């Protein structure tokens, strides 16, 4: 209690020096929480978008389907089981194809989806047949890379189940905007009925996306259920990598803050050695002096948390609502990034950051304070220690 009282007295008495330290450390609190919140917000948004646009409650994969091996696509199709054909599912038939935008050859994945599906957010309802044309929809990345616009016509070639090549002209019925590049880049979406007919695979699909109610509740012969966790594993891996990068940033920011405290404490020892010698002469034990300096360092982190809260809370809330606009180039990174990321700050993040900074600040203050214990008080009183 005495150490706390004296530490407070010393800190408030030191005035500007204390407040400079407090403000610098408060920046660390706010920046660390904002940065981690941004990554957490990105992660949350990426997972949410992938579930909404691609994964839903989970997927049944035809047993030969391997998304990383396009050569398996030829054999990755089976008849849609009766129990997986209701409105709570979205069967997808996937095949390789080629398009010829502006005379160039472009390999694509053809994905057939039911027009009336409501399991994922692909605007499949735009696949309306007009004048006997085959409507297709594409994502904005695909449109941009191939200079395609709504209403454009496109020659599309494919090979059916018997290995026979065929081609037709399709019309871009709509261009959708999604944050999930894995359903956009190099992909043409058309109606399931059309693709089944083109491939001569009536009633068949490569995978079946299910709503959350159905997810994995039943087993179907020849189909393997892939849970959300499995399907998000790649994203989780990317998130993990990002988290490592985030941790490096976290540690760097923390180290900068701690360096400031350490530096201040070391300077304090030498600048305040006369004061320390007087403390000892007046009856303070070495342990009490060490405690006093350690508490001073710890208190700086407490005051910094309070100062950080004053300006940090409104700033962080504003960012949470307004979002952080990602640079245009991030659209081409191939990972799920929204145009704007809305940082999320969990209680764990805030409490964890505060506790970590406070503990580290206290340890960092303790280390130079220990040096005090070795000071010769008679030299310290005269300010003779170098």
Residues that bind another protein (CB under 8 A): 2, 5-6, 9-10, 12-15, 274-275, 277-278, 280-288, 376-378, 381
- Which tokens is 263 given? 């530096």
DSSP single-letter state for residue 55: I
Q: What angle do CA 9, 371, 382 make, to 5 degrees?
A: 70
190 burial type by CB count under 10 A (0-12 exposed, 13-18 middle, 19+ buried): buried
24 burial type by CB count under 10 A (0-12 exposed, 13-18 middle, 19+ buried): middle
Residue 307 Cβ vs another protein, minimum distance, rounded to whole Å? 20
Give φ, ψ of 249 to 5 degrees: -60, -45
Q: Which is nearer to another protein, 5 or 340 (CB)?
A: 5
Alpha-carbon distance of 203 to 205, in angstroms, equals 7
Residue 364 Cβ vs another protein, minimum distance, rounded to whole Å? 22
Residue 267 Cβ vs another protein, minimum distance, rounded to whole Å? 15
What's the first-to-final CA gap in the chain, in angstroms? 32
Q: Which is nearer to another protein, 9 or 177 (CB)?
A: 9
Q: Which is nearer to another protein, 7 or 201 (CB)?
A: 7
Strands 106-113 and 134-139: unpaired
Residue 27 Cβ vs another protein, minimum distance, rounded to whole Å? 25
Chain-centre distance for alpha carbon 374: 49
Residue 372 Cβ vs another protein, minimum distance, rounded to whole Å? 12
Residue 303 Cβ vs another protein, minimum distance, rounded to whole Å? 15
Alpha-carbon distance of 77 to 93, in angstroms, equals 7
Chain-centre distance for alpha carbon 350: 17
Half-sphere CA count of 241, side-chain side, radius 13 A: 6
Q: Which is nearer to another protein, 92 or 289 (CB)?
A: 289
Q: Which is nearer to another protein, 9 or 147 (CB)?
A: 9
Residue 275 Cβ vs another protein, minimum distance, rounded to whole Å? 6
The 10 Å CB-count burial string (b at 16+, else e) for 303-328 is bbbebbbeebeeebeebbeebbebee
Q: Which is nearer to another protein, 6 or 172 (CB)?
A: 6
Q: Which is nearer to another protein, 323 or 377 (CB)?
A: 377
Q: Which is nearer to another protein, 8 or 255 (CB)?
A: 8
What is the DSSP track for 221-235? TTEEEEEHHHHTHHH
Residue 10 Cβ vs another protein, minimum distance, rounded to whole Å? 6
């Amino acid at each position: 209690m005495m150490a706390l009282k004296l530490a407070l007295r010393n800190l408030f008495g030191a005035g500007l020096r204390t407040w400079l330290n407090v403000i610098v450390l408060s920046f660390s609190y706010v920046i660390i929480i904002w940065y981690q919140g941004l990554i957490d917000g990105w992660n949350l948004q990426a997972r949410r978008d992938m579930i909404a646009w691609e994964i839903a409650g989970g997927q049944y994969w035809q047993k030969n389907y391997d998304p990383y091996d396009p050569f398996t696509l030829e054999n990755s199709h089976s008849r849609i089981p009766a129990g997986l054909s209701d409105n709570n599912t979205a069967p997808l038939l996937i095949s390789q194809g080629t398009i010829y935008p502006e005379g160039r050859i472009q390999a694509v994945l053809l994905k057939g989806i039911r027009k009336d599906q409501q399991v994922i957010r692909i605007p499949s309802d735009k696949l309306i047949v007009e004048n006997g044309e085959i409507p297709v929809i594409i994502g904005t990345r695909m449109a941009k890379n191939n200079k395609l616009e709504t209403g454009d016509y496109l020659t599309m070639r494919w090979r059916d189940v018997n290995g026979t090549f065929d081609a037709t002209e399709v019309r871009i019925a709509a261009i959708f905007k999604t944050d999930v590049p894995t359903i956009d880049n190099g992909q043409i979406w058309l109606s399931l009925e059309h693709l089944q007919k083109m491939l001569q695979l009536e009633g068949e699909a490569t995978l079946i996306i299910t709503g959350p109610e159905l997810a994995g509740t039943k087993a179907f012969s020849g189909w393997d259920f892939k849970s959300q966790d499995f399907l998000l594993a790649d994203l989780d891996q990317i998130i993990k990598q990002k988290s490592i990068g985030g941790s490096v940033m976290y540690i760097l920011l923390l180290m900068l803050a701690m360096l400031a405290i350490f530096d201040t404490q070391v300077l304090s020892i030498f600048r305040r050695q006369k004061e320390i010698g007087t403390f000892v002469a007046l009856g303070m034990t070495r342990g009490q002096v060490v405690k006093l300096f350690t508490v001073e360092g710890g208190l700086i982190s407490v005051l910094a948390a309070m100062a950080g809260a004053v300006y940090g809370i409104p700033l962080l809330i504003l960012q949470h609502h307004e979002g952080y606009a990602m640079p245009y180039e991030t659209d081409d990174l191939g990972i799920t990034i929204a145009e704007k990321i809305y940082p999320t700050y969990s209680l764990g993040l805030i409490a964890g950051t505060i506790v970590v900074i406070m503990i580290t600040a206290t340890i960092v203050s303790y280390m130079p304070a220990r040096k005090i214990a070795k000071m010769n008080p008679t030299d310290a009183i005269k300010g003779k220690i170098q």
